[in-house]
Amino acid sequence: MRTGAVTATEIVREGHRLTGGFHLAEDQKAMTLLKQLQDITPLIELTTGRRIFRGSIFKRIIVTDPRRGRPYVSARDLVQAEISPADYLSYRHGNLLNELELKEGMILVTCSGMNLGRAIWARSDMDGLCASHDLIRIEPSSQESAPGYVYAFLASRFGHVAIRRQIYGGNIKHIEPEQLEQLPVPRFSKAFERKVHALVLEAAALRTEASSVLAKAREDVARELDAPQVGPAGFSTNGVSFTAIRDTRRLDAFFHNPSAAKLDTWAKRHPNGSWQLREVARVFDVPPFKHIYVEAGHGVPFFTSGDLFDLERTTDKYLSRTQTRDLRRYVLERGWVLLARSGQLGGIIGTPQFADSSLGKATTSDHVIRVVPRNDVVPPGYLFAYLSCRGIGYPLLTRTMTGASVPALWPMYLDNVAVVKASAAFMKKVDHAVQDAFERRVVAGEKDLAARKLVEDAIEKGAN
């Protein structure tokens, strides 16, 4: 919790705003720097058609057949590294679908939820998706400014403060499109703004390429192994034999999912042969521990299980090197496969993440299960691609979870997941593709941050 004091004069001067966060000292300081700049343009004047909007609030009509609807994503989906629409909005919504449609080059601002006030650049792989009404749409005009520059400002420390000051509400906080219209956008030379814009475009291209490479790697694995088509996660069955229960010692309904059971049989009887996960990797968890945070530069970066899926693998949490007991037990190594231990089916549970160079030597929580590949048996990239295939690894992994309200994964059950073998040449090819894709994301993140840093430095220099 952040606290501070504010005078009645300041409340009146700021339009009678009583929202506590509006008057935070560090935010006031940032806004003071912005207002000291000579060249400021309201955000609305930098948009196409002088319009900042969001989709209408509506009751969703969801269909499962992609021929009967448009792919639909939520605000939460768009802040994750991989966008995989699971739902389709029915064509029965008519013209509303066009209103909700995303276009490449849009700037999106989350206007409710946990990631409130976050700016997102709409990449080419988002083009044509229908998105939630919880996103404010900004269509920057290329005639008025370099669009990537406008995004970089809104995503910067100063832009985020300017957006955050518009938040209203109690338990459920919101931002409205009209509140962003007069947001002050500092202007610099055209050359500078184009330079920032170029970095944003380079980052977006790298992220799109990375997602495409990962999607192809998974498709190649499924094709190479001739994986069977499986049904949806939901299922019904007439019953489970006593033999199946006796042999598995599992009474969980989901463990006996016919689709997952079919996959398990296919994997264990595959002509190529298969391993148990324990034979190709060490699967383990770590005990819960006390988190003692310190300032950046004085500790080890710490990621929650949710952070691992974020578009930007950055963190503002750092564990103390001296006060965290057995710190080395929680340190990650590049090339590990990571699994969120708990969550809801269809969410992050059972969806692997890969430890790239941005996570090497960082730490993560006890809510993450570590899968450390034996590189002499199976390359880490192949193991990741296999386990992250929605039609192979996901059903096999989630089949092992236990619990009702909040299901959980356990190393003792994951050890027995079947991993189908492939030729050494094929596994090496997939491994190279996966590792290359994740490193492209690392470079993309660096370029995105560099663009914001240019803007922040220019604002601070111009105000002093």
Mean pLDDT of 129-153: 95
pLDDT of residue 464: 63
CA distance 195 to 146: 9
- Which range of 175-179, 325-329, 400-404, 425-429 scores highest in mean pLDDT? It is 425-429
- Decide: 289 and 324 in contact? Cβ < 8 Å: yes
For the segment 200-215, what is each residue's pLDDT rounded down to a tens digit? 999 999 999 999 999 9
- Check pLDDT > 60 for residue 12: no
- Paired with 47 in beta bridges are 140
pLDDT of residue 259: 83
pLDDT of residue 232: 54
The Cβ of residue 192 has, within 10 Å, a number of other Cβ atoms equal to 15
Give the pLDDT band of residue 84 (cuts 50, 70, 90): confident
pLDDT of residue 417: 96
B/e letters for 148-172, b = 16+ CB within 10 Å, e = fewer, are bbbbbbbbbebbbbbbbbbbeeeee
pLDDT of residue 29: 79
pLDDT of residue 85: 84
Q: Which residues contact 158 (CB under 8 A, 6 or more apart)?
A: 30, 33, 34, 186, 455, 456, 459
147-155 vs 190-224: helix axis angle to the nearest 10? 80
Residue labelled with tokens 């050494």:
424
For the segment 223-255, what is each residue's pLDDT rounded down to a tens digit? 999 999 875 555 556 666 667 666 677 777 777
- Decide: 416 and 276 in contact? Cβ < 8 Å: yes
SS3 breakdown of the chain: % helix, strand, coil, rounded to 5? 40, 20, 40
When mean pLDDT is compared across 18-27, 55-64, 86-95, the lowest value belongs to 18-27
pLDDT of residue 24: 52
- Check pLDDT > 80 for residue 22: no
Mean pLDDT of 269-292: 95
pLDDT of residue 294: 94
pLDDT of residue 15: 52
When mean pLDDT is compared across 63-77, 236-250, 419-433, the lowest value belongs to 236-250
pLDDT of residue 261: 86
When mean pLDDT is compared across 26-40, 98-112, 298-312, 378-392, the lowest value belongs to 26-40
As a whole number, the mean pLDDT across the chain is 89
CA distance 369 to 310: 17
Residue labelled with tokens 């496969």:
337
CA distance 62 to 93: 10
- Check pLDDT > 90 for residue 193: yes
Q: Do the strands 299-303 and 130-131 form a parallel or antiparallel pair, or are they unpaired?
A: unpaired
- Check pLDDT > 80 for residue 169: no
Give the pLDDT band of residue 387 (cuts 50, 70, 90): very high
Give the pLDDT band of residue 429 (cuts 50, 70, 90): very high
- Check pLDDT > 60 for residue 38: yes
Q: Which residues contact 318 (CB under 8 A, 6 or more apart)?
A: 293, 294, 295, 296, 297, 298, 299, 300, 301, 302
Give the pLDDT band of residue 403 (cuts 50, 70, 90): confident
Distances (CA, A) of 417 to 136, 243, 420: 43, 20, 10
- Decide: 341 and 409 in contact? Cβ < 8 Å: yes
Select the more confidently predicted residue: 404 or 175. Answer: 175
pLDDT of residue 28: 75
pLDDT of residue 19: 59
CA distance 218 to 51: 40
Helix (H, G, I), strand (E, B) or coil at 366: coil
What predicted TM-score, i.e. pTM, was given to this entire model? 0.89
Q: What percent of the chain has pLDDT over 70?
A: 89
